[in-house]
């Protein structure tokens, strides 16, 4: 892990500012498709899927079977879900409230 805040560079903050300007699903899809490779998009989507399944209480083996994620990846995501900066938790809670 990097020291707190070391990853929050000017460039990373500029990316977050750009993401916050996205107005709808279609615009987000177009922006992320231009920004990322198909593989990167699939990896991000898989990580989000794993986080949602962990939050539902599924066992690692079931999550791996459903998503294709390795147990090492699932363990890393679980660690960030429970001991990260709270980003997963905030969005999972916000999604559940909808």
Rounded alpha-carbon distances, angstroms, from residue 78 to 54, 56, 89, 92, 98: 7, 12, 11, 13, 23
Spatial separation of the C-alpha atoms in residues 46 and 81, rounded to whole Å: 14
For the segment 66-95, what is each residue's pLDDT rounded down to a tens digit? Answer: 999 999 999 999 999 999 999 999 999 999
**What domains does the chain contain, in order, with CATH numbers?**
1-35 (no CATH), 37-98 (1.10.1270.10)
- Per-residue confidence band for 3, with pLDDT thresholds at 50, 70 and 90: low
- The reported pTM is 0.89
What's the pLDDT score for residue 1? 40
Task: Tell me if 63 sits within 8 A of 54, measured CB to CB.
Answer: yes
């Amino acid at each position: 892990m990097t020291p707190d805040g070391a990853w929050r560079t000017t460039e990373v903050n500029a990316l977050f500012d750009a993401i916050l300007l996205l107005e709808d699903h279609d615009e987000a899809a177009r922006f992320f498709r231009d920004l990322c490779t198909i593989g990167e998009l699939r990896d991000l989507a898989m990580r989000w899927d794993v986080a949602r399944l962990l939050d539902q209480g599924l066992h690692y083996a079931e999550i791996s079977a459903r998503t294709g994620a390795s147990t090492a990846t699932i363990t890393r995501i679980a660690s960030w879900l429970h001991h990260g900066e709270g980003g997963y938790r905030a969005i999972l809670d916000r999604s559940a409230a909808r």
